Amino acid sequence: MPPIRVRFKLLRLLTTLLASMAVVVASAQEYDPNGSLTFATNADPTLNPWNASAVIESNLINTILFDQLVRYDPTDLRPAPGLAESWETAADGLSWTFHLRQDATWSDGEKFTADDVVFTFNEAILVKELGANRASTFTPVDRVVKVDDYTVVFELNRPFSSLPYYLAYYSGMLPEHVLKGAENPLMVASFNKGQPVVTGPYRVGEFVSGAYVKLVPNENYWGPKPKLASITFNIIPDGNAQVAQLLAGGLDMVSITNPALLAGVSRNPDLEVVRQSQNIWYFVALNLDDERFQDARVRQALLSAIDRQAMIEAVLEGYGVEATGPIAPLLQAFYETDVAHWPYDPEGAKALLAEAGWTPGADGILQKDGQRLSIDMPTGQFGYLVPATLLVQGYWEDIGVEVKVETIEWNAFIQKAVVNRDYDAMLAWWSTPPTPDQSGYFASSAAVTGNNIPNYRNPELDALWEQGRAATTLDEQIAVYRQVQEIIAQELPYLFLWYPDMISVRNTRIGGMQDINSAANFQYSFDWYVKP
């Protein structure tokens, strides 16, 4: 059947031709060179990643503006080259050497060198009096030493194997030539609220207080040429108004903190919902200075009494996964599912409490040695903390625990629960870098004064955290953190609730985004484009 063969060949030739033409067309119109994107942020940002006021409203903007030594690999969130091309730790684990790119420049044309790294650490982050953001995470770092213009050494007082992860977590570099000489390099208003000198793909074009911040391409950027004409962040304090603006077509992307707001989104065919996993875990902390909670069985019982799956459905509309510990599924290499789970079991909870000596008293409330199991549970007006707290209250009352919920304003709640540790139980969350090293939230040294909110103290776990920081190979680390997760799931320093999904809604005209998580996405903003 020769004719068919010929035709087949012809067809193949034709398709190849067509395909190659399509490639040519596609590369000619890969993106709209005049494309601009508009996002929202909820307050005036502070354009200095280390200023204590630079939090949620500033983090992502600062990620675009200020390049970091290390970025997240967008496939698995492992550390990947940023302003540093490579790094290695010493055999004793007591120092890290970073080799910097030699072609990076600041937006004003100055070269980026080791002096900038030394300045950012030695004269800003490590100066205790300045109270820099996340300064406490860098306590293992004594100082940073310049070896040559493009090599720096982080000198440590104890091993810190997770340093590269922390350097990829909102850790932008500051320009020495601009901020040196300032009384407080973190509080230079013309920089923080105006036109900072940056290393990122975009720089500030215009900052209108209370209205918007407009970013334009940085002509001196060392990496790939940015594909957008501008990125504007409109300042919209209210989440509902942000969604309204998105639906009206005035915004290209909004992150949704309250899943109930997703209802109207499906009506707009130009919008797509993106679910991302983050290293965020919600928890109930029990104040472990209170001897009633020092018995692990009490904590296990209180967790078993909570129907977490039902809460995820009710509060998160299903956008979340039950949590087993501080290491989220996002960290595929480290996340361990084979640990104690404490599924919803109110009868089992009562039995566990009875075993621990808590039996129903005359008023139906559990008691032990004349002490009633009555829990003060303050909560703050933020996100869905109040409804979630009220649900926990209901579950605990079902097993005979008295729960007194007090709803207070957010700032006052932090003062009470975090600063003064004045609570029996409280519901909140931690958002952490994607590293299994979460010692700051558990170590005895972080109790009372640090991020160990429940004031949990366990020397065995303390030793394991240190071992994890000293472990240099991945296999060693996996082994250590498996043990950590087993102990934590059994001991329950926190009652782990869920890992919420981050939900963002964006216009389908946007291309080039990294969907793994928003921090990584914003580190690769030079890839973003508007489809033609």
Partner 1 sequence: MTSYILRRLVLGAVVLWLVSVVTFFLIHLAPGGPSSAVSFERTAEEREALLKQFGLDEPVVVRYGKWLLSAVQGDLGVSYNQGLPVALLLKQRLPNTLTLGLAALVTATVLGILLGTVAAVNRNGWLDHVVSTITTLGMSIPGFWLGIVAIILFAVELRWLPASGIVSSGKAGDLVDRLKHLAMPAGVLAFTLMPNVVRVTRSALLEVSRADFVRTARGKGLAPGTVLFKHAFKNALVPVLAVLGLVTTALFSGSVVIESVFGWPGLGRLAIEAANGRDYPVILGATLLAGLVVVVVNLLVDLLYAAVDPRIRHE
For binding to partner 1 (CB under 8 A), which residues are involved? 38, 43-44, 46, 51-53, 55, 128-136, 184, 187, 189, 192-193, 206, 208-212, 214, 230, 232, 234-238, 240-242, 244-245, 247-250, 264, 408-412, 414-416, 418-419, 428, 446, 448-451
Least CB distance from residue 431 to partner 1, whole Å?
9
Alpha-carbon gap, residue 161 to 166, rounded angstroms: 10
Distance CA 37, CA 288 (A): 48
One-letter amino acid at 421 equals R
- Residue 17 is given by DSSP the state H
Closest to partner 1 by CB, 185 or 400: 185
Contacts of 390 (CB under 8 A, 6+ apart): 405
* Smallest separation, CB 452 to partner 1 (Å): 10
- Structural contact between residues 79 and 331, judged by C-beta atoms closer than 8 angstroms: no
Smallest gap from Cβ 229 to partner 1, in A, equals 10
DSSP 135: G
Provide the 10 A C-beta neighbour count for residue 85. Answer: 14
Closest to partner 1 by CB, 127 vs 390, is 127
The nearer residue to partner 1, 193 or 509, going by C-beta atoms, is 193
Q: What minimum distance in Å lies between the beta carbon of 478 and partner 1?
A: 27
As a whole number of angstroms, the distance between CA 78 and CA 520 comes to 10
Nearest CB to partner 1, comparing residues 129 and 475: 129
Residue 81: count other Cβ atoms within 10 Å of its Cβ.
14
Helix and strand element counts for the chain (H, E)? 15, 23
Encoding tokens for residue 392? 């926990």
* Closer by beta carbon to partner 1, 38 or else 279: 38
We find the least distance from the C-beta atom of residue 504 to partner 1, in angstroms, to be: 18
- Distance (Å, whole) CA 197 – CA 203: 8
| Kind and range of the H or E run holding 271 | strand 271-277
Cβ proximity to partner 1, 132 vs 480, nearer residue: 132
The two tokens of residue 245 are 């603006």
Comparison of 74 and 450: residue with beta carbon closer to partner 1: 450
Beta strands 374-380 and 402-408, pairing class: parallel
- The residue (of 98 and 191) whose beta carbon lies closer to partner 1 is 191
Least distance in Å: CB of 127 to partner 1? 9
Output 252 or 307, the one with its CB closest to partner 1: 252
Chain position carrying tokens 């250590």? 480
119 CB-near residues (< 8 Å, 6+ apart): 174, 176, 179, 180, 185
Give the nearest distance from C-beta 51 to partner 1 in angstroms: 7
Contacting residues for 127 by C-beta, under 8 A, at least 6 apart: none
Shortest CB 128 distance to partner 1, Å: 6
Min dist CB 419 to partner 1, Å, is: 6
